[in-house]
Chains A and B, each alone.
Chain A
Amino acid sequence: MEPLTLDMILVMSMIGLAIFLFIVEWVRVDVVAILMMVTLPLLHLVTPKEAFVGLSSNAVVSIIAVIIIGAGLDRTGMINKLVAPVLRIAGNSSSRIIIAISVTVAIISSFMQNIGAAALFLPAIQRISKMQKIPLSRLLMPIGFSAILGGTITLVGCSPLILLNDLLAPFNLEPFGLFDVTPIGLVLVVSGITCFVLLGRFILPQGEPMDGGESDSAISPSASSDPSKSDKDQTEFYELRTPDDFTDYRDPVFVEDLRRRYLLNVVAITEPPDYKVISPNPDVEVRSGIDLAVCGLKKDVLRMASAEGMHLKDNLEIYKDSLSTQAAGSVEVVVGPRSAFAGKSLKEINFQDRYHVTPLSVYRQEETYRAQIDDIVIQVGDVVELYGTWKRLTVLHKEGGLLFSLPSDAEEMRPEKTLWAGFWLVTALVMIMGFKIQLSVALMTGALGMILTRVLSIDEAYQSVDWRTIFLLAGLIPLGIATEKTGAAAWIAHSILSFIGDVSPIVLLTVIGILSTMFTLVISNVGATVLLVPLVVNMAIAAHTDPRMAALVVGLATSNSFMLPTHQVNALYMGPGHYRTVDFIKAGALVSVVFLVVMIAMISLVYGI
């Protein structure tokens, strides 16, 4: 074994720093990657060229192309159209619905980013939950897990697998083909779904079905409600009238004051003489002798009526028509991945002024926020309940970034481009499989084809690219290079092997699988792959095991991220499914164990180790 050098110590310190920063999240993961990209050449651990080689790597270009192809498929509305036939096949049985949607999501996920597939299906799943009266919590987790598992079906299904061939290149190992992992991925998907079908009742939370109508069209009168709310906590609409001397003996009262004081959202108010405003701005003054409609709990309405001397009407009168379910309603929207709203407070977004809709509450990780929600900074996966006219909600839907629980024709779809989108996807696949053209070139051809045939515009293609993922990949690649180049990977691998002694290939691969699973739970799957692949390849070479298989175990097992809501898909589904962390631990632990067993068994079966 080579002696420990200063360079090795420096690389190990950088790895330690990266892992530490991934865990504490003082800065975002992609910023950590950029930090590595910049620091490594400064420390002379890699050359400047090597520091930025990630940006032009096969993996990074492939992932850009995969994202654009996914966005193109999405733009045609093709994926939404799959839901109807899938449902017809599934019927009413919740098990059949889980199987049908999970398989569909998994297949789609094998060609596009997991989070993209998960986000795409969320509105459809919410609608199915309502229509079939199946609790959302029983559908979302199996489908979310299938989206993650689907990423293991092809080599372009998830970032770690896309990255794998690039990480194998320095070792002169034969790269994997697009469908080399397919048998393993398919069995993993089937095993995951089987777990939920057979044991779902024991491992999934038994929620209540979502309320609502059975509308199948655009945003429409079928208000949704929070399944976790009991009758006592149910918000309702009430109409009140202010007395004629309301403004005589008090400081001016504004719409936002009523929300702050009584947690009541004014959804409609009369501006003198009799102009009805739906979803008024927070700074609208409540005047004397006017009618207003509020949404909230009865106890709060009674409190306000008593404290402010307002008259509570028995039913909606003035606003009976304008607030009828045909004209207006509330919807729960989920903040989608890369939404422009994420990272902004509700005050900054200013839904009332910009879209004339009123945010009623925010639901995030087991908590429903109703008070001072303006200050809450919205995150991906948050569920925001909005009230407004269907017309206004449709306008908001068109903006994108929010996943509405109801399907909509609001988004600008190009169904006429479906054939072109399909053609370019098939072309890319044929180039990869039939002509053995490099992954990045073939996929970029498909992406370019979609742009040239106007499936999506070049600007839409640029916007669809998740630059965080790109820089995360590109920034960590030099860390992998440095680990290998300085001999740090070989040194760590030999140290671990001398510690554990001689083991059989199966045991070694199992240990690598467990190690990868543990890493991926606390740091990003890309980070785990970049750090572990050079290490395990060296370990496998030293232990006389197939190094490609060791790398493959890492590539697959870094998708084994089910036990905590740290994976993007889990984080996205946690809010709408009203899951708690313990729900992920319960179901995720079982799926993770099954994943490891099936993966090792399949690798041994397919590759005969």
Chain B
Amino acid sequence: MSIITISRGSSSMGKAVAEQVAQKLNYQLISREVLLDASNRFNVPEIKLEKAIHDAPRILEKYRHSKQSYIAYFRSSLVERVIGGNVVYHGLAGHLLLKGIPHVLKVRINADMERRVAIVMKRDKIPAPDARARILEDDKQRRKWTQSLYDQDPWDTSLYDLTICIDKLSVENAVDYICLAAGTEEFKSSEKNVRKAKDMSVACRVKASLVEEFPNISVTCDYGNVLIYMKGRDHMIGKLSKKLNNIRENISGIHHLETHAGVEPPPDAV
């Protein structure tokens, strides 16, 4: 009942690895479906969501907060999708968006640059310099995205449980190692892990329902006790309080709901 996230640079054969792992373990493979889910659930055009989780925020977006909203929607949909376990997710920032769920096996697939260039040349029918430039630009965008939103570098190996470079190791080797790791006790779902995943799902749903109006809130959920952290105390608090009843009624799994204004949110807050 593991959850596996496979993060990869573009054209690094991460998709092939993810497909084979899912097939070998008989797990569900998800990627773009999360976008569709989020688009349907939150009534946001898919293209906007895709841009939000791919491109780094521009200067104005940092103030418009639309990206935070789209990412909250995406994260909520992703958590809902993986909560049942037996899932392989390959896509952007799975390791960051699912941070807080203990039994997630976080994998990073890298590939030798020449091999990546060859793949892009073949796929897009472009010369080597163009293919290299395209890969570098894509890597730069992804690095900027994670750095601007999570202050992390996607190439930092300490973010992952397993980092595999497809060069001397083949895709098949990578699949074997991942499957072996997924069978480790730490990545099996336990009652405690499932509860944490459910709590996170509740926190994500609460955040998604409030983020548009209150982009700076952070949410935690522990045993169904939801805490909404808000910076400072201002007129927004009264406005937020009015929304709480609605949230209690519409989101299941909430035992208690409280707003902590002016209190620093814990690092694991959504």
Which A positions have Cβ atoms within 8 angstroms of B? Answer: 251, 260-263, 300, 303, 365-367, 369-372, 375-377
* Number of residues on chain B facing chain A (CB within 8 A): 18
Given contacts A371-B256, A371-B258, contact A376 B263 (CB under 8 A): yes
A303 to B259, CA, bound (A): 22
- Which of B225, B263, B264 sits near A263, CB closer than 8 Å? B225
Contact across chains for B259 and A367 when beta carbons are under 8 A apart = yes
Contact across chains for A251 and B256 when beta carbons are under 8 A apart = no
Contact across chains for B266 and A375 when beta carbons are under 8 A apart = yes
- Which of B222, B261, B266 sits near A367, CB closer than 8 Å? B261
Residue B227 interfacial (CB < 8 Å): yes
Given contacts A261-B223, A262-B223, contact A372 B260 (CB under 8 A): yes
A377 to B262, CA, bound (A): 9
Closest-CB distance, B255 to chain A (whole angstroms): 7
Residue B192 interfacial (CB < 8 Å): yes
A300 to B264, CA, bound (A): 26
Contact across chains for A371 and B227 when beta carbons are under 8 A apart = yes
For B264, the closest partner residue in chain A by CB is: A375
A376 to B259, CA, bound (A): 12
Closest-CB distance, A381 to chain B (whole angstroms): 12
A366 to B237, CA, bound (A): 10
Given contacts A365-B233, A375-B266, contact A370 B223 (CB under 8 A): no
Contact across chains for A370 and B258 when beta carbons are under 8 A apart = yes
A453 to B227, CA, bound (A): 54
Contact with A along B222-249 (1 / 0, CB 8 A): 1101010000010001000100000000
Residues from chain A with a CB closer than 8 A to the CB of B192 are 251
Contact across chains for B260 and A263 when beta carbons are under 8 A apart = no
Contact across chains for B263 and A375 when beta carbons are under 8 A apart = yes
A251 to B261, CA, bound (A): 33
Q: List 6 A-B contacts (CB under 8 A).
A: A261-B222, A261-B225, A367-B259, A370-B258, A372-B220, A372-B227
For B266, the closest partner residue in chain A by CB is: A375
Given contacts A251-B192, A365-B233, contact A371 B261 (CB under 8 A): no
A303 to B256, CA, bound (A): 12
Contact across chains for B260 and A260 when beta carbons are under 8 A apart = no
Residues from chain B with a CB closer than 8 A to the CB of A366 are 237, 241
A300 to B224, CA, bound (A): 11
A435 to B159, CA, bound (A): 78
A366 to B238, CA, bound (A): 9
Contact across chains for B222 and A369 when beta carbons are under 8 A apart = no
Contact across chains for A303 and B255 when beta carbons are under 8 A apart = yes
Contact across chains for B260 and A376 when beta carbons are under 8 A apart = yes
Residues from chain B with a CB closer than 8 A to the CB of A367 are 258-261
Closest-CB distance, A335 to chain B (whole angstroms): 15
Closest-CB distance, A369 to chain B (whole angstroms): 6
Closest-CB distance, B257 to chain A (whole angstroms): 9
Given contacts A260-B222, A377-B263, 13 further A-B contacts (CB under 8 A): A251-B192, A260-B223, A260-B225, A261-B223, A263-B256, A300-B256, A367-B258, A367-B261, A371-B222, A371-B258, A372-B260, A375-B260, A376-B260
Most chain B beta-carbon contacts within 10 A, residue among A251, A263, A371: A371
Residues from chain A with a CB closer than 8 A to the CB of B241 are 366
Contact across chains for A369 and B258 when beta carbons are under 8 A apart = yes
A262 to B263, CA, bound (A): 21
A346 to B256, CA, bound (A): 21
For B255, the closest partner residue in chain A by CB is: A303
A303 to B223, CA, bound (A): 11
Given contacts A251-B192, A261-B222, A261-B223, contact A369 B260 (CB under 8 A): yes
Residues from chain A with a CB closer than 8 A to the CB of B233 are 365
A31 to B237, CA, bound (A): 28
Residues from chain B with a CB closer than 8 A to the CB of A376 are 260, 263
Closest-CB distance, B7 to chain A (whole angstroms): 31
A375 to B227, CA, bound (A): 12
A369 to B259, CA, bound (A): 8
For A365, the closest partner residue in chain B by CB is: B233
Residues from chain A with a CB closer than 8 A to the CB of B258 are 367, 369-371
A345 to B248, CA, bound (A): 28
Residues from chain A with a CB closer than 8 A to the CB of B256 are 263, 300, 370-371
A261 to B199, CA, bound (A): 11
Closest-CB distance, B241 to chain A (whole angstroms): 8
| In the A-B complex, the 3 residue pairs with the closest CB atoms | A261-B223, A371-B225, A371-B258
Within 8 A of A (CB), among B182-200: 192
Residues from chain B with a CB closer than 8 A to the CB of A371 are 222, 225, 227, 256, 258
Closest-CB distance, B263 to chain A (whole angstroms): 6
A332 to B192, CA, bound (A): 36
